Structure 1
Amino acid sequence: MAEFRFTAGRSRIARLHQAGCLKLRFPRTPGPAAEAILINSSGGLTGGDRLAVDISVGSGASLSLTTQACERVYRASRGEARIETGVTVAAEADFLYLPQETILFDGGALARRLDVDCAASSRVLLVESVVLGRTLMGETVVEGKLSDRWRVRRDGRLVFAEQLLLDGPVEAIAAAAAGLGGAKAFATVMAQLPDGEALLGALRDIIGPDGGASAFDGLVVARLVAGSGFLLRKRLVPVLATLAKAPLPLVWSL
């Protein structure tokens, strides 16, 4: 659990509780915004593992939350790994949720949940990206499970809900035209920005034919697919930088 407040001209951590393998580290940044890096010291996840993150960003504060590296979900002999992330973003606050890619290995099973409660005047950028095996390592995900649930509320009203489920023959599902069309990596990006709709043209130029972007109810949502994690990141980084209007955390460097 971590709470951030804007005091004495900077966004600062006000409360912090951490336990187990999941840690937060706070690089020094030159500006008034705060940056936090999630580190899973266990080196990956498998069946039965549980991670929970609870973040609060106070009025006027600004926070970028990212991860030290890609999260790895290894083969599970039984059960599934679970990650639950809850975020509250107050009025006039900025929150960027920028975890690096999740790599699903053959036989891996992950249930992930993201719940965000934000104010109408807050600025929010969220991304989750998934890589189905490391292409350069010759890995293939034949079987596995990925459940990904998003719920975003604005002033208590549900404005974005999504439920993704890949379960069982992941390779066959991804190969289908109604699935990923043979792609091995994909990402969903959502942003609440005052001028988000004006950025659609630039986003669509970056994404190209392998994805799309749309705007509705004060939100921008983009989808990207690619043949590998590297190709996905080459387009995802400029998409995120365009929406963030700032360079991404250094851990995102290609």
Structure 2
Amino acid sequence: MPWHARLHLDYKQEAARTVARFRHDGPLRILQSLYPEGDAVCHNVLVHPPGGLVGGDTLDIDIEGTDGSHGLITTPGASRFYRSEGELALQRTRIRLAAGARLEWLPLEAICYSGCQAENRLSIELEPGAELIGWDITALGLPNANQPFERGSYLQHIEVPGVWLERGRIDAADHRLLQSPIG
């Protein structure tokens, strides 16, 4: 049975402290808010207890930041896209920041296991004066465990609407890409 999990996370500044409020449905949530840098920066760890996605699973992550808020989001481990029998595993992340909001989006890598059919979408909407630093890192297979990415495909979609669009498909059957010196 596929999972469809949703998380909506709002960062707001209350007095001199950034606070995170969230709603979730399914196995996707944040752990308690931490303040190792002081009250101005709210650190959160995004947790998906099943540990990965299989065909048919969908994770929807919606993050908002209001003026003056500063959040940092990471994960306790890599995301995983496991082998699929044909259905797509999908992770959609949407970040919207108001003017004066700051966010650090720093999840660990996404591991694409051989045989996965996966899509990872990141959409970022920034009002003028908002600040974001982030990454989306992908690892193909587990080569050190002798489990290379030999089958399947992965689509990475990163966009700032009207400003930037990066979209690439990595197909394990594309030997020119994956077996070349630059692949």
TM (norm. structure 2) is 0.89
The answer on 1:90 being equivalent to 2:94 is: no
Q: How does 1:60-209 map to 2 (within 5 A)?
A: 60-153=68-161, 158-169=162-173, 173-177=177-181, 181-182=182-183
Unaligned runs of 5+ in 1: 183-254
Match of 1:10 in 2: 17
Change in Cα spacing, 1:171 to 1:73, as seen in structure 2 (3 Å) is farther
String of CA shifts for 1:130-183, please: whole Å, max 9, x gaps. 111222211111111111111114xxxx21111111124156532235xxx24x
Which of 26, 30, 50 pairs up with 1:42?
Answer: 50
Q: Distance in 1 between matches of 2:158 and 2:60?
A: 15
Q: Distance in 2 between matches of 1:70 and 1:135?
A: 15
Q: Distance in 2 between matches of 1:40 and 1:55?
A: 16
Equivalent position SS for 1:18: strand
String of CA shifts for 1:11-64, please: whole Å, max 9, x gaps. 112x42111111111342131101121111112111100100111101010011
- Between Structure 1 and Structure 2, which shows a larger proportion of strand residues? 2
User: Does the CA contact (< 8 Å) of 2:52 and 2:79 recur in 1?
Assistant: yes
User: Does the CA contact (< 8 Å) of 2:91 and 2:121 recur in 1?
Assistant: yes
Change in Cα spacing, 1:42 to 1:2, as seen in structure 2 (3 Å) is same
Q: Which has the higher contact order (CA 8 A, sep 6+)?
A: 2
Aligned-CA RMSD value: 1.5
Equivalent position SS for 2:120: strand
The answer on 1:21 being equivalent to 2:33 is: no
Equivalent position SS for 2:144: helix
Q: Distance in 2 between matches of 1:43 and 1:134?
A: 16
User: Does the CA contact (< 8 Å) of 1:38 and 1:68 recur in 2?
Assistant: yes
Unaligned runs of 5+ in 2: 1-7
Equivalent position SS for 1:43: coil
**What is the letter of the counterpart of residue 15 of structure 2?**
A
Q: Distance in 2 between matches of 1:83 and 1:147?
A: 11
Q: Distance in 1 between matches of 2:59 and 2:32?
A: 19
Equivalences, count: 174
Q: Distance in 1 between matches of 2:50 and 2:164?
A: 32
Equivalent pairs: percent with the same residue? 25
Change in Cα spacing, 1:170 to 1:132, as seen in structure 2 (3 Å) is farther
String of CA shifts for 1:67-112, please: whole Å, max 9, x gaps. 1210111110121100111111111111111110011111011111
User: Does the CA contact (< 8 Å) of 1:3 and 1:55 recur in 2?
Assistant: yes
Match of 1:33 in 2: 41
Q: Distance in 2 between matches of 1:62 and 1:86?
A: 17
Q: Distance in 2 between matches of 1:45 and 1:5?
A: 30
